[in-house]
Structure 1
Amino acid sequence: MGIDKHRRASKKGSSRDGGRFIALPFSVIDSPAFMQLSYAAKSLLLDIARQYASDNNGRLLATMKYLSKRGWTSSDVISRAKKELLDAKLIYETVKGHRPNRASWYAITWHSLDKITGYDAGAAERWPSARSGYLTVAPLRKNTLNPPKGVKKDMIEPSPGARDICDAPPAGAIRGIYQHSTTPSNGDHLDTPSIVVTEEFFSSNHMSSNVSFTKTFELHQFSNNSSITRISL
């Protein structure tokens, strides 16, 4: 029913659906002030502009009571979005609201301010500087990952230059100094001849008599007066 009503209301030969609409100039949509807005601020701007009826610019509302009917649920989100619009100079505050029941009034800055009784003192006088104020908002500078003077090439060698690698200390190789000889003082024990003994030798040196020997034993003498017996069975 609603769609048919709007279609019937459209003028003959018109290319759009009938009914009122928001006149939002390209100068607003393409401005840095608008493009830098958050999604919440852009939505709020449309809901404020939706109230404009050709003779009430300066008495547009952004209260929770009005916006809740249009799907807004957070007063904090509304407050932040409203501040963005004021900073972007897309809306202008004509009346400063206060408790308990005084709502703030606003005007969209791409339309002329209508003459309405009840503006704050000086609001109408300051309007000329606010009109089309969004056009004076400069675009934000994009953060760059490169330093202003450009990217420097990474150095893979020390600043004085690469040096030849030396395998030896600057003063030359150091000879090892050994305080003790690796050879026993009386010579290598392997150079000492073996003493061949027989079974009777071990028997006479307190060896058990119940052990039978059939082969020769060798007793090696070392420089530290100790001995090791190798037995071949």
Structure 2
Amino acid sequence: MSNKSFKRNGSKRDSGGFVLFTHDVIDSAAYRQLGYASRALLVDLARQYTGTNNGRIVACNKYLKPLGWNSHATVTKSLRELQDSGLLIQTRLGMRPNRAAWFALAWYQLDASQGLDMTNREFLNVKCDWKRKDIGAPLIPKTGISKSRIAPENGISSLQLAPINGVMQ
């Protein structure tokens, strides 16, 4: 069997873009404490990131409806949960009738552009809030999982089937 190396032309995966979630994000307490709808929404929002538009990610009905998001209440609750976790940062306030709110993914740098309500300095102040939520016990053990003992610590003793003072009459 030959040991061929893969070319850098994408032969290891299908063509097209991808969404990058680092292990720091996935293993964080901020991400692990999210509900399923919030995690799904985070993936759909991260799908918009092109490498140059962090801070201009939208969560409007026009974008989310074709992706299967039919409940406005679920989207609103999930957006609030994502912002509370620190993984999603609102960079522009939405207004009626036709100004969508913009968001940024907290594990990427902010791509400065026209129309943001937040400066780069303000973004850096809140960028790592999701990491600060990890203070405490780690969720994933670093040393692995050890075998637990089934038997008593002092060993197995012989069982007595009859009472100590003899058979009862």
**Superposition TM-score, scaled by structure 1 size:** 0.53
Q: 1:119 — aligned with what?
A: 116
Match of residue 34, structure 1, among 25, 31, 34: 31
Match of residue 124, structure 2, among 115, 120, 128: 128
Letter in 2 for 1:43: A
Match of residue 88, structure 2, among 67, 91, 113: 91
Question: CA offset at residue 40 of structure 1?
Answer: 0.3
Matched, 1:61 2:66: no
Question: CA offset at residue 115 of structure 1?
Answer: 1.2
What are structure 1's unaligned runs of at least 5 residues? Answer: 1-9, 142-233
Question: CA offset at residue 116 of structure 1?
Answer: 0.6
Q: 1:23 — aligned with what?
A: 20
Matched, 1:78 2:75: yes
Q: 2:151 — aligned with what?
A: none
Question: CA offset at residue 72 of structure 1?
Answer: 0.5
Contact 1:89–1:134 (8 Å) recurs in 2 = yes
Q: Distance in 2 between matches of 1:56 and 1:84?
A: 22
Q: Distance in 2 between matches of 1:27 and 1:85?
A: 16
Letter in 2 for 1:107: A
Q: Residue by residue, what CA displacement relative to the aligned partner does 1:37-65 show, whole Å, maximum 9, x if unpaired?
A: 00000000001100001110000001111
What are structure 2's unaligned runs of at least 5 residues? Answer: 1-6, 138-169
Q: Using the TM superposition, name which of 45-54 and 14-23 deviates more.
A: 14-23
Letter in 1 for 2:85: A
Q: Distance in 2 between matches of 1:13 and 1:75?
A: 38
Larger-Rg structure: 1
Contact 1:33–1:139 (8 Å) recurs in 2 = no
Question: CA offset at residue 133 of structure 1?
Answer: 2.1
Question: CA offset at residue 132 of structure 1?
Answer: 2.7
Q: Distance in 2 between matches of 1:103 and 1:67?
A: 12
Question: CA offset at residue 32 of structure 1?
Answer: 0.4
* Structure 1 runs, 4 residues or longer, greater than 6 Å off: none
Matched, 1:137 2:133: yes
Contact 2:30–2:130 (8 Å) recurs in 1 = yes
Letter in 1 for 2:97: P
Question: CA offset at residue 79 of structure 1?
Answer: 0.2
SS where residue 34 of structure 1 aligns? helix
Question: CA offset at residue 14 of structure 1?
Answer: 3.0
Question: CA offset at residue 138 of structure 1?
Answer: 4.1
Question: CA offset at residue 124 of structure 1?
Answer: 3.0
Q: Distance in 2 between matches of 1:140 and 1:41?
A: 23
Q: What percent of counterpart residues are identical?
A: 39
Q: Residue by residue, what CA displacement relative to the aligned partner does 1:17-50 show, whole Å, maximum 9, x if unpaired?
A: 2211011100000000001000000000001100
Letter in 2 for 1:36: Q
